[in-house]
Structure 1
Amino acid sequence: MKTKHYLTLADAEFLLNQAHAYAVENSFNVSIAVVDETGNLLAMKRMDGASPMTANLCLEKAKCSAVSRRPSKLFEDIIRGGQMGFLTMQTFHGMLEGGEPIMYEGQLVGAMGVSGVKSFQDAEIAQQAIEMFLGQVN
């Protein structure tokens, strides 16, 4: 039988705090969501000044990344390439980048979604937080 790794609430809060600190450092006002490997919400934060719409978008980006096990930018690229096929996102507004899977020892343990600045900056915030998290876990 295999050991299954998973995110705890403390892990999710660490990820949120890392993303929040990076956003503050760069004067970004964003919403941040951390979900488990099934796409269910573990923790979320909407910074002062972040648009109300970003709260739902960050969650959708995180869910997309968790269920696909891939960065949500992949789907943005597919859509822009005209190969939409299937995609359901309740609040899709054209920008999907900003959802990042969290992999630990080859297992998906969750995902993080960020929304509120340019899509590449959303992804940068999530990537930075995940990198910090994985660095302290190992």
Structure 2
Amino acid sequence: MNRLLAAILLPAVTAFASDLPNKKYLDLANIKIMVSAAEAKAKELNVSVTICVVDESGNLLFLEKGETASLNTIQFAQKKARHAAFYGSPSREGADTIKKGHVEALEFPEFFPNQGGLPIKVNGQLLGGISASGAKSEIDEAIAQSGLDALLKQ
């Protein structure tokens, strides 16, 4: 009886599994591409920053503190990247929201009003966030943008 049931259900399960969508994700090779480009940009700009990459749920995939970057940049970089991943928008937009007087946004989960985090989107699919922290905010964002640009050139 069990063999008969398995013979009947197996094709149905296989057909269903093949219908599942394929999901893109950030693998180690792609993370290394982004980080290498971000490091090169930081070196070019002569700044020491913490670089962070998270997945679309805000889970930490990569974190590197620059040699002379201050300790608070470790948390700031993570918060910027998580904001970008959670909201699918640059963390700069969080800062703009607060500047417009919408302080209630500070209560939103993973909301962080500081420039330097960017969403990682490939073909319209949100894969995560990348950020830098330790320099002026616009420089942090330029470093993160270099990492993102390197990934998108692949």
Normalised by the length of structure 1, the TM-score is: 0.90
Deviation of the 1:11 alpha carbon: 1.4
Deviation of the 1:21 alpha carbon: 1.0
For the pair 1:4 / 2:23, whether they are aligned, the reply is: yes
How many residues matched?
133
Deviation of the 1:13 alpha carbon: 2.1
Instruction: Pick one of 60, 67, 80 that aligns with 1:48.
Output: 67
Structure with the greater alpha carbon radius of gyration? 2
SS at match of 1:28: coil
The answer on whether the counterparts of 2:55 and 2:128 sit within 8 Å (CA) in structure 1 is yes
| Correspondence for 1:19 | 38
CA distance in 2, matches of 1:128, 1:77: 22
SS at match of 1:85: helix
Deviates more, 1:3-12 or 1:102-111: 3-12
SS at match of 1:51: coil
* Unaligned stretches of 5+ residues in structure 1: none
The answer on whether the counterparts of 2:97 and 2:105 sit within 8 Å (CA) in structure 1 is no
Q: Which has the higher helix share?
A: 2
Normalised by the length of structure 2, the TM-score is: 0.81
Of all paired residues, the percent bearing the same amino acid is 38
For the pair 1:63 / 2:110, whether they are aligned, the reply is: no
The answer on whether the counterparts of 1:16 and 1:45 sit within 8 Å (CA) in structure 2 is no
For the pair 1:73 / 2:99, whether they are aligned, the reply is: no
Deviation of the 1:84 alpha carbon: 2.0
Instruction: Pick one of 100, 124, 129 that aligns with 2:142.
Output: 124
The answer on whether the counterparts of 2:33 and 2:150 sit within 8 Å (CA) in structure 1 is no
Matching residue's letter, 2:122: Y
* Unaligned stretches of 5+ residues in structure 2: 1-19
Larger RCO, structures 1/2 (Cα 8 Å, 6+ apart): 1
